Amino acid sequence: MFKIGTVTHYYDKIGVAIIELTSTLSVGDKIKFVRNGEDLFSEIVESIQVEHKKLDSASSGDVIGLKTNEAVKTGAEVFKE
């Protein structure tokens, strides 16, 4: 398990986390959200969006929108499992 990014914002109404990536992420990857050392939840990436365009993958330095199954707070770290 290694860190791939950080949540910079979360949109409650649409259930989307904005994540600044430090590594690559692809649809189908399993990720885990962690905040203050506490595991929050895991899920499989179902879609990635950059500038409202749906992509199959994103790279380090990209800022992506990711629909999540649960609410997640700003500052949560994202790990690839």
pLDDT tens, residue by residue, 18-37? 999 999 999 999 999 999 99
Please give the Cα distance from 72 to 9 (Å, whole number).
9
- Superfamily of domain 2-80 in CATH is Translation factors (2.40.30.10)
Nearest to 80 by CA among 18, 20, 19, 33: 33
Domain boundary assignment for the chain: 2-80
- pLDDT grade, residue 79 (50/70/90)? very high
The model's pLDDT over 48-68, given as tens digits with 9 standing for 90+, comes to 999 989 999 999 999 999 999
Nearest to 26 by CA among 52, 7, 50: 50
